[in-house]
Structure 1
């Protein structure tokens, strides 16, 4: 085929149509903010300020103290597709397509201004989507009215300001409820950034530590592995393949935390069950988390398992990192290795729960519920040998013993197994049981102690048994108080 056999024509995209389409790539407010901060880190910023002003004229500014850009460099950076995704990037460059700053900003606002100071020289440009649509051209506005650019007063030295105005994508409440809506949006954004950039905020070895302040609040890193807790189980660091490393963590059980609030903090926003799985980092920046990439199912027994996978910027195509840097696909070579490791990865989490289950149903601890093996089935029954239950059976007398046994059988046969299993699979944190009140606790402790003493068990041994039996073990001081025993005597 020769050139004379066909003709060619240039079909430029319609600016007004394309610019509106680019707004719907799929950024959230949180992921858009993170994409802007990526640029600040790539510019070697050590301090980043985020200002999100909760007013009717809501605007957001991100100011860093990075290297800054000259006017020509800034103009190029404002172009859509300013850098080829195939171009070789520096190992610490968090960019990807040369689209992030623009598409992330357009997804949230209709007016984007970027001002940058480099070696004392200040320049600024604005994309106004309404101007692009009205003129149907890729018209960018060069700014010289610096005093009217909001937030520019915070750019005191070299660095860059990204300003979002006409923020129209935060469609929440209206009127008086708008203030609380913005407060929730800001709070969630703060938590998101503290998690995504936690390794930079912590100053992990090999990384320059950065500070991020959000509306004047300095963000503390949220370590999803709770790696400093003495009860966290850390598996050996492993190289999966060139450019991909892995390390698995088993988070502490609830019993190792001093409060429910601390336990919930490390469960992250959606809790332990949903946030188990792989935490994928690109150049130490969290890309996505809480997924097994289809190689395993999320179960209650593995909910404490989290796997850190690190990849470099040269792995983008292999992992199919998207423009928003919030999704990826696990390559087959990694998937196959993870499959072979999955049993050992989840084993510590399963062991934690199974060990606790064995302790809570051990006959030596006189549990309220006993487990009996019947063929291939495990049957849960009210433990008639539990001292408190045994005392009750004695107190009601022979004539009421049958009625009491009928009540026990009714409770056992109607236990809501399916409902409990469903709730545990979907949201473990939502499952709780009514705590025993102080008076009932005291009565139970005295009955337990008295029954075992009547069976001829020495007092010291009875206390040893109660130390392992719930609910006494987890409230030992309270147990001793109910028995009238001074802790110093014990």
Structure 2
């Protein structure tokens, strides 16, 4: 039949727009991964700044993502809004963070029912396209109606791009996944909204940390505040131990592997230790970190190599760098949050993981105190670990300067010794083990919130050493190596400076 689309050989089986969109919403994005997928497009478009605004207004809440990248002209925007706008098999630019031609659309509609994109280039006027799932459902035609009238947005929305030569803004409206039908004065819903904003900040700081620093850094802003990078390898601390880089090849694709042994908490400050834990805690963040074009895909996973996440391996983190041409080989998913190593590389990865875990376990078990172990151990620690008849127990160190002083100055030592013995015999070891296994990152550091008490303890130990006949310089060196003062060298130095000034004043 002339003009008919019917054929004896095939049927045209176009999917219904409304039905397919509803299915695409179930890809498994959450808010942080969805926004990360959108930001991939901004970085690929050469943006130096990306602004994310989460605006609370109850059921009218919205999320805006604006960048100063190259932008898109009319036809480019229309193409970009098509689901599957580019085949995953097509060659891409080396710095392209995309793959399936689905990310921006599926990520957006997973969180909202109305996606509007406004964009302009240096040479083109602003153009607009909108996918409105409720409108598509209401037409009952199954047609892929991509709306494009400029008056779909308000004048204030259009004004967002007026001060830029080029750029793109995404508007997410009708946030049914995040807000639903909550009223503007729903405190519980608003609190949840704010908490998700914090989760977005932490996730983006991790995923794009290699883009957020350096000479050509990208600046990410959330609700007006710049996001600082979170480096899982703590390379700036000076105490991380980088291992030798290896390059593994498989089917013509290169994978660069570099392991890092992170510092024991005794070698870094409490703030550094807290930051190093990352969004999910120390235990959760051990393992492999897979990057594609410097963009983090997998954050801490042993990749199905038969290894469990255990407390004594938490200092082991291993970086894998891939090119975007390795997507199919490493089975990278649409959300760019999962990857699986090819079978040919599993033995090499297992070898690297075992070596890294062994070194991390050694650092963890020895508490990173190599210097102290080489010197005078008798008084470094307040507690000593002993074994008797195959059983482990802890004893207050009688050689500790302050313990020696207490025993020496007591008129009746019997009650003091009885108290020490009672403390040693009633340490709640089973409870400590359980708490450490369940919540290993919740233990506070000694004197974490009480620097004044730390100073008093420092003075008492120093005075005890001097009264015991030790030279002040020797006592000062011992203090710098003694637990827990070795974790606070700046406070020890300030205290010792005060001691020197006092001695100098007395001589005058």
Q: Fold-level match, TM-score > 0.5? A: yes
Q: Please say which of residues 195-204 and 279-288 is displaced more in the overlay.
A: 195-204
Map of 1:24 onto structure 2: 26
Within 2, Cα distance between the matches of 1:171 and 1:377? Answer: 55
Q: Please say which of residues 263-272 and 178-187 is displaced more in the overlay.
A: 178-187
Within 2, Cα distance between the matches of 1:387 and 1:218? Answer: 48
Within 1, Cα distance between the matches of 2:38 and 2:380? Answer: 58
Q: Deviations over 1:264-303 (max 9, x none)?
A: 2232222322222222111111112022223333333332
Within 1, Cα distance between the matches of 2:42 and 2:172? Answer: 16
Map of 1:158 onto structure 2: 166
Distance 1:367 1:187, change over 3 A: closer
Please state how far the C-alpha of 1:338 moved relative to its aligned partner. Answer: 2.0
Distance 1:423 1:329, change over 3 A: farther
Q: Deviations over 1:191-210 (max 9, x none)?
A: 32232222222247xxx543
Question: 2:100, 2:334 within 8 Å by CA — same for their partners in 1?
Answer: yes
Match 1:365 to one of 367, 379, 398:
379
Q: Deviations over 1:400-420 (max 9, x none)?
A: 63x655544443343233332
1:224 aligns with 2:223: no
Q: Deviations over 1:15-38 (max 9, x none)?
A: 333322221211111111111111
Map of 2:107 onto structure 1: 104
Please state how far the C-alpha of 1:438 moved relative to its aligned partner. Answer: 6.2
Q: Deviations over 1:163-187 (max 9, x none)?
A: 2111221139862625544333333
1:323 aligns with 2:334: yes
Q: Please say which of residues 133-142 and 368-377 is displaced more in the overlay.
A: 368-377
Within 2, Cα distance between the matches of 1:463 and 1:46? Answer: 50
Please state how far the C-alpha of 1:317 moved relative to its aligned partner. Answer: 1.4
Distance 1:446 1:165, change over 3 A: closer
Task: Give TM-score scaled by structure 1 length.
Answer: 0.84
Distance 1:382 1:75, change over 3 A: same
Q: Please say which of residues 239-248 and 46-55 is displaced more in the overlay.
A: 46-55
1:449 aligns with 2:453: no
For structure 1, the residue ranges without an aligned partner over 5 or more in a row are 1-5
Matches within 5 A, 1:330-341: 330-341=341-352
Q: Please say which of residues 412-421 and 441-450 is displaced more in the overlay.
A: 441-450
Match 1:73 to one of 73, 76, 79:
76
Within 2, Cα distance between the matches of 1:261 and 1:382? Answer: 29
Distance 1:324 1:383, change over 3 A: same
Distance 1:423 1:292, change over 3 A: farther
Map of 2:5 onto structure 1: none
Please state how far the C-alpha of 1:250 moved relative to its aligned partner. Answer: 2.8
Task: Give TM-score scaled by structure 2 length.
Answer: 0.81
Within 2, Cα distance between the matches of 1:209 and 1:112? Answer: 28
Map of 1:3 onto structure 2: none
Distance 1:446 1:104, change over 3 A: closer
Q: Deviations over 1:225-273 (max 9, x none)?
A: 2323322322232212242111222333434445x33432232222322
Distance 1:149 1:261, change over 3 A: farther
Within 2, Cα distance between the matches of 1:42 and 1:472? Answer: 48
Within 2, Cα distance between the matches of 1:229 and 1:112? Answer: 42
Map of 1:58 onto structure 2: 61
Q: Secondary structure at the match of 1:330?
A: coil
Please state how far the C-alpha of 1:49 moved relative to its aligned partner. Answer: 2.6
Match 1:431 to one of 440, 443, 448:
443
Question: 1:233, 1:348 within 8 Å by CA — same for their partners in 2?
Answer: no
CA RMSD of aligned residues (A): 3.5
Within 2, Cα distance between the matches of 1:116 and 1:247? Answer: 40
Within 1, Cα distance between the matches of 2:304 and 2:169? Answer: 40
1:422 aligns with 2:422: no
Map of 2:355 onto structure 1: 344
Match 1:40 to one of 36, 39, 42:
42
Map of 1:131 onto structure 2: 135
Please state how far the C-alpha of 1:313 moved relative to its aligned partner. Answer: 1.1
